[in-house]
A and B are shown apart, each in its own frame.
Chain A
Amino acid sequence: MLLSNDGEIIKSEFYVVNEDDALPGRGQEAQSVSKRIVSFKTLLNATEVSATAVWLDVDDKVEAAAPYLPRLEVIALNFPTFNDGRGYSSANILRSRYAFAGEIRAIGDVRVDQLEQMLRCGFDTFELADGQVIELAIRLLKGFPFSYQKTSDRMPLFHQRSAD
Chain B
Amino acid sequence: MYIYDAYDQKMVDERVAQYRDQTNRYLAGKLDEDEFKQLRLRNGLYIQRLAPMLRIAIPYGILSSVQLRKLAHLARYYDRGYGHFTTRQNIQFNWPKLEEVPDILEELASVQMHAIQTSGNCIRNVTSDQYAGAARDEIADSRPWAELIRQWSTFHPEFNWLPRKFKIAVTGAAQDRAAVQVHDIGVRIVRQESAGKDEKLIFDILAGGGLGRTPVLGPVIKQGLEEQHLLTYLEAILRVYNRYGRRDNLYKARIKILVRAMTPEVFAAEVATEWANLKDGRGTLTKAEIERVKGCFTLPAYESLEDIVVLQRAKDDAGFSAWRKQNIKPHRMPGYSIVNLALKATAVAPGDVTDEQMDLIADLADKYSCSEVRVTHEQNLTLADVRQKDLHDLWQALTAADLASPNLGLLTDMICCPGGDYCSLANAKSIPVAEAIQRQFDDLNLLHDLGELSINISGCMNACGHHHVGNIGILGVDKKGAEYYQVSIGGSGREDAALAQILGPSFAQNDIPRIIQTLVAVYLERREAGERFIDTFRRIGIEPYKTAVYA
Q: Which residue of A lies closest to B245 (CB)?
A: A86
A85 contacts B by Cβ under 8 Å: yes
When distances are taken between beta carbons in the complex, the residues of chain B under 8 Å from A161 are 5, 7, 288-289, 292
User: Across the interface, do B22 and A150 meet the contact criterion of CB distance under 8 Å?
Assistant: no
Known contacts A85-B160, A113-B22; A148/B154 CB under 8 A:
yes
When distances are taken between beta carbons in the complex, the residues of chain B under 8 Å from A22 are none
When distances are taken between beta carbons in the complex, the residues of chain B under 8 Å from A146 are 7, 10-11
Q: Which residue of A lies closest to B242 (CB)?
A: A89
Q: Once the chains are docked, how many angstroms separate the CA of A19 from the CA of B387?
A: 74
When distances are taken between beta carbons in the complex, the residues of chain A under 8 Å from B251 are none
When distances are taken between beta carbons in the complex, the residues of chain A under 8 Å from B156 are 148-149
User: Across the interface, do B35 and A82 meet the contact criterion of CB distance under 8 Å?
Assistant: yes
> Pick the contact of B288 from A84, A86, A144, A158 — CB < 8 Å?
A158
A55 nearest CB across to chain B (Å): 17
Stretch from B219-227, B279-287, B421-429 forming part of the interface with A: B279-287
Q: Is the interface of A mostly helix, strand, loop or mixed?
A: helix
Q: Once the chains are docked, how many angstroms separate the CA of A133 from the CA of B29?
A: 13
Residues of B133-180 whose CB lies within 8 A of A: 151-152, 154-162
When distances are taken between beta carbons in the complex, the residues of chain A under 8 Å from B30 are 133
B220-238 interface mask toward A, CB cutoff 8 Å, 1 = contact, 0 = none? 0000000000010001000
Q: Once the chains are docked, how many angstroms separate the CA of A111 from the CA of B35?
A: 9
User: Across the interface, do A157 and B7 meet the contact criterion of CB distance under 8 Å?
Assistant: yes
A109 nearest CB across to chain B (Å): 10
- How many chain B residues touch A (CB < 8 A): the figure is 40
Q: Once the chains are docked, how many angstroms separate the CA of A92 from the CA of B39?
A: 23
Known contacts A84-B161, A161-B5, A161-B289; A148/B155 CB under 8 A:
yes
Q: Which residue of A lies closest to B291 (CB)?
A: A162
Q: Which residue of A lies closest to B289 (CB)?
A: A158
B494 contacts A by Cβ under 8 Å: no
B265 contacts A by Cβ under 8 Å: no
B277 contacts A by Cβ under 8 Å: yes
A132-164 interface mask toward B, CB cutoff 8 Å, 1 = contact, 0 = none? 010000000000111111110001111111100
A26 contacts B by Cβ under 8 Å: no
A152 nearest CB across to chain B (Å): 8
Known contacts A82-B35, A88-B157, A89-B242; A149/B11 CB under 8 A:
no
A50 contacts B by Cβ under 8 Å: no
When distances are taken between beta carbons in the complex, the residues of chain A under 8 Å from B22 are 113
User: Across the interface, do B11 and A144 meet the contact criterion of CB distance under 8 Å?
Assistant: yes
A34 contacts B by Cβ under 8 Å: no
User: Across the interface, do B152 and A148 meet the contact criterion of CB distance under 8 Å?
Assistant: yes
User: Across the interface, do A157 and B151 meet the contact criterion of CB distance under 8 Å?
Assistant: yes
A97 contacts B by Cβ under 8 Å: yes
Residues of B170-217 whose CB lies within 8 A of A: none
A24 nearest CB across to chain B (Å): 16
Q: Once the chains are docked, how many angstroms separate the CA of A89 from the CA of B156?
A: 11
A112 nearest CB across to chain B (Å): 9
When distances are taken between beta carbons in the complex, the residues of chain A under 8 Å from B154 are 148
A47 contacts B by Cβ under 8 Å: no
User: Across the interface, do A150 and B283 meet the contact criterion of CB distance under 8 Å?
Assistant: yes
A138 nearest CB across to chain B (Å): 14
When distances are taken between beta carbons in the complex, the residues of chain A under 8 Å from B292 are 158, 161-162
User: Across the interface, do A156 and B14 meet the contact criterion of CB distance under 8 Å?
Assistant: no
> Pick the contact of B157 from A93, A120, A159 — CB < 8 Å?
A120
A83 contacts B by Cβ under 8 Å: yes
User: Across the interface, do B285 and A86 meet the contact criterion of CB distance under 8 Å?
Assistant: no
Residues of B377-434 whose CB lies within 8 A of A: none
B313 contacts A by Cβ under 8 Å: no
User: Across the interface, do B242 and A147 meet the contact criterion of CB distance under 8 Å?
Assistant: no
Q: Which residue of B lies closest to A151 (CB)?
A: B157
> Pick the contact of A155 from B10, B11, B14, B282 — CB < 8 Å?
B282
A28 contacts B by Cβ under 8 Å: no
Known contacts A88-B157, A146-B11; A162/B151 CB under 8 A:
no
Q: Once the chains are docked, how many angstroms separate the CA of A89 from the CA of B7?
A: 26
User: Across the interface, do A96 and B35 meet the contact criterion of CB distance under 8 Å?
Assistant: no
User: Across the interface, do A147 and B155 meet the contact criterion of CB distance under 8 Å?
Assistant: yes
With a 10 A CB-CB cut-off, give which of A88, A120, A159, A162 has the most chain B CB atoms: A88
User: Across the interface, do B35 and A113 meet the contact criterion of CB distance under 8 Å?
Assistant: yes
A121 contacts B by Cβ under 8 Å: yes
Q: Which residue of A lies closest to B11 (CB)?
A: A146
B247 contacts A by Cβ under 8 Å: yes
A117 contacts B by Cβ under 8 Å: yes
B239 contacts A by Cβ under 8 Å: yes
B277-316 interface mask toward A, CB cutoff 8 Å, 1 = contact, 0 = none? 1100111011011001000000000000000000000000
B357 contacts A by Cβ under 8 Å: no
A33-58 interface mask toward B, CB cutoff 8 Å, 1 = contact, 0 = none? 00000000000000000000000000
B536 contacts A by Cβ under 8 Å: no
When distances are taken between beta carbons in the complex, the residues of chain A under 8 Å from B289 are 158, 161-162
Q: Which residue of A lies closest to B247 (CB)?
A: A84
User: Across the interface, do A88 and B242 meet the contact criterion of CB distance under 8 Å?
Assistant: yes
B38 contacts A by Cβ under 8 Å: yes
Q: Which residue of B lies closest to A116 (CB)?
A: B157
User: Across the interface, do B10 and A83 meet the contact criterion of CB distance under 8 Å?
Assistant: no
> Pick the contact of B277 from A83, A97, A118 — CB < 8 Å?
A97
Residues of B36-76 whose CB lies within 8 A of A: 38-39
B121 contacts A by Cβ under 8 Å: yes
With a 10 A CB-CB cut-off, give which of B5, B155, B277 has the most chain A CB atoms: B155
User: Across the interface, do B286 and A113 meet the contact criterion of CB distance under 8 Å?
Assistant: no
Q: Which residue of B lies closest to A79 (CB)?
A: B161
Known: A90-B243, A151-B158. 17 other contacts (CB 8 A): A82-B38, A82-B161, A88-B159, A93-B239, A96-B277, A96-B278, A113-B35, A118-B157, A121-B158, A148-B152, A155-B282, A156-B283, A157-B7, A158-B285, A158-B289, A162-B286, A162-B292
Which B residues have a C-beta under 8 Å from some C-beta of A?
5, 7, 10-11, 14-15, 22, 30-31, 35, 38-39, 121, 151-152, 154-162, 231, 235, 239, 242-243, 247, 277-278, 281-283, 285-286, 288-289, 292
Chosen A-B contacts, 5 in total, with CB atoms closer than 8 Å, are A82-B35, A111-B35, A133-B30, A148-B154, A149-B156
Which A residues have a C-beta under 8 Å from some C-beta of B?
82-86, 88-90, 92-93, 96-97, 111, 113-114, 116-121, 133, 144-151, 155-162
